[in-house]
């Protein structure tokens, strides 16, 4: 049959891989949006006090952990209260409206994987949409190809957005900083009074290793 011939020529492999990538992207979306991003819990305060024994030398010693004025838990360093989630989040990066969840210590690596898979899907889909277009200057051609044109334009816009997000996050990760710290450096006590612009930076390789591993 035609399907068997296509399978023998490997023509069914690419659509199968594309479908698997789309499914993987959907699963990653729900995983990142539904998982705990690193909420600070009251019962973890004692272990948190012990864990703060590792002090970075460039951070002044008079900067102490403060208690959150909203949920009343003792905030570990680099944590921030999210008023939308009503929780303090460890290594808070930002609250993503598309996920309806915070991006923090626990789900940030998966968020990067999700963006990477999403970018591959968009680039592949854009290539498919573009390859189906055969340009002719006629009204009938426009009527028959309007769906492909709109699809390509939407895919192009989303590709630019996802690419910029991924590149910016990879840059911040390589510097061992977060979106919140980058945007609000002047308002964060442990950064404002630090001897260095970024006291957490330990080099690109070690930063990436600590983040992903």
Q: Which residues belong to the active site? A: 96
CA-to-CA distance for 175 and 75, rounded, in angstroms? 23
As a whole number of angstroms, the distance between CA 154 and CA 29 comes to: 19
DSSP characters over 91-151 = T--EEETTTTEEE-TTTHHHHHHHHHHHHHHHHHHHHHHHHT----SSHHHHHHHHHHHHH
Residues 6 or more apart whose CB falls under 8 angstroms from that of 79 comprise 40, 88, 89, 90, 91, 92
């Amino acid at each position: 049959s035609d399907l068997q011939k296509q399978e023998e020529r490997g023509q069914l492999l690419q659509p199968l891989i594309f479908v698997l990538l789309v499914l993987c992207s959907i699963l990653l979306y729900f995983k990142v949006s539904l998982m705990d991003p690193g909420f600070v819990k009251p019962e973890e305060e004692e272990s948190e006090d012990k864990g703060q024994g590792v002090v970075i030398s460039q951070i002044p010693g008079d900067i102490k952990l403060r208690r959150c004025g909203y949920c009343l838990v003792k905030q570990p360093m680099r944590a921030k209260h999210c008023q939308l989630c009503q929780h303090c989040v460890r290594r808070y990066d930002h609250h993503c409206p598309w996920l309806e969840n915070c991006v923090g210590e626990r789900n940030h690596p998966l968020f990067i994987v999700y963006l990477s898979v999403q970018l591959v899907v968009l680039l592949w889909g854009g290539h498919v949409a573009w390859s189906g277009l055969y340009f002719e200057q006629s009204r009938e051609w426009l009527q028959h190809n309007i769906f492909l044109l709109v699809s390509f334009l939407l895919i192009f816009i989303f590709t630019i957005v996802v690419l910029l997000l991924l590149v910016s996050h990879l840059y911040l990760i390589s510097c061992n900083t977060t979106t919140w710290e980058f945007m609000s450096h002047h308002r964060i006590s442990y950064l404002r009074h630090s001897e260095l612009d970024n006291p957490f930076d330990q080099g690109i390789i070690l930063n990436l290793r600590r983040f992903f591993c």
